[in-house]
Amino acid sequence: MLQLINVGNKSLLDYGTIASRGLMEEIRRLAAQLEGKRVLHLSATAFGGGVAEILYALVPLMRDAGLDAEWRIIRGADEFFAATKTIHNALQGSPQGLTPDQEQVYRRFNEENAQDLEDDYDFVIVHDPQPAFTIERFPSSPARWIWRCHIDLSTPNQSVLDFLLPALGRYDAAIFHMNEYVPAAAGLPPSYIWPPAIDPLTPKNMALSAEDAAYIVDQFGIDVERPLLTQVSRFDPWKDPLGVIDAYREVKERFPEVQLALVGSMAHDDPEGWDYYNQTVGYAQGDPDIYILSNLNNIGGVEVNAFQVHSHAVIQKSIKEGFGLTVTEGLWKTRPTVAGRVGGIVRQIQDGETGWLVDSSAQCADACIEILRDPSEARLRALKGKEYVRRNFLMPRLLRDWLVLFNTLLGNDTAGAELAVVGAA
């Protein structure tokens, strides 16, 4: 069997002061029709990205709602993850496609992983492209298979999409963050639209006092008496950490005391991340006010929380983004948030109302300068951003969406609960 991830326990009751009473009642009603249903979440890694963070909260909440849910991760070698990274980049618009050898490697590892899967689930949820071909081993599966796409497919490399489509067409449903992400391609299953969410009760997102946050970041050498800009992201060209450094350098001309923290996570399914990490370190040119940190420096959820809470501005200067849960996190912590005008970020930030949307390093610098000049106005925007997250991007809402879909696929009565549907191609 594939590796089972231990997710611990969670209780829906703990979210009663955060989620509305109506939402909690809807969750209980929808879950009652799914008691004991077996649910498998299948993904590439148990750490290092937004998908893993979601599943550490979603799976135990599904269990608490009465489903028999579990999460397993696939196995792979460097050659497999290099191929899946090429797929990931190509689906987000990179012109580089798969070589015949990479296609063969991708198929082989999916087949090997599928051999270690049981076919006794009611629902199998495959996250992102890495395990997408596992469905091909189960042509007569009794389960409902769902492909959950967490990336932006609005401008995919057509050759790579065509390679995936025969397998994707066998799923019972696909889920995308936004309508714009659904590719105009024949053969996709019925496609549903809903955004991801953060768990406000994890160590990464729980309430943290300013004093505790300052104490923690001080342990990493940050001068807590000087302003701090922070971006939390993988070391990836799509996240543009080099552009963040450019913006920081412009801000430093106006505010010489400013510091920058680039806080990342190194994942085993992202071999390019190590190369880009080194490139980022080199680009910083030894600036003592630039702190480049990762899980290798003992950065975990609490530490990320502290950096975000302590920061004068949270940055997410992505040039391509599936959704951008680090934006959600910054808004939830009432931090002035500056982010790229791309992907799911534009669904989270109302420019000029709840945060700042930018198209360049220069605009990013201007936004940070504005925040440092007028912290009171920045605080007002941040308060609006937190409330928007509370209503739209927290874990109970995500659980509700999954329960609606499960009931829909089984033909159960959802009593008017609906999901946005793009439709079958």
* Whole-number pLDDT of residue 273: 83
Helix axes 361-373, 375-392, angle to 10 degrees: 110
Q: Where are the domains of the chain?
A: 3-197+394-423, 210-392
How many other C-beta atoms are found inside a 10 Å radius of the C-beta of residue 190? Answer: 16
C-alpha distances (whole Å) from 184 to each of 87, 191, 300 are 18, 11, 39
Which CATH architecture describes the domain 210-392? 3-Layer(aba) Sandwich (3.40)
> Rounded distance, CA 260 to CA 291, Å?
6
Asked, colleague to colleague, whether 3-197+394-423 and 210-392 share their fold, the answer is yes
The tens place of each residue's pLDDT in the chain, 425 residues long, gives 999 999 999 999 999 999 999 999 999 999 999 999 999 999 999 986 789 989 999 999 999 999 999 999 999 999 999 999 999 999 989 999 999 999 999 999 999 999 999 999 999 999 999 999 999 999 999 999 999 999 888 899 999 999 999 999 999 999 999 999 998 877 899 999 999 999 999 999 999 999 999 999 999 999 999 999 999 998 989 999 999 999 999 999 999 999 999 999 876 666 678 889 999 999 999 999 999 999 889 999 999 999 999 999 999 999 988 899 999 999 999 999 999 999 999 999 999 999 999 999 999 999 999 999 999 999 999 999 999 999 999 999 999 999 999 999 999 998 888 888 874 33
> Rounded distance, CA 190 to CA 171, Å?
9
The predicted model scores a pTM of 0.90
Length of the chain: 425
- Looking at domain 3-197+394-423, its CATH superfamily turns out to be Glycogen Phosphorylase B; (3.40.50.2000)
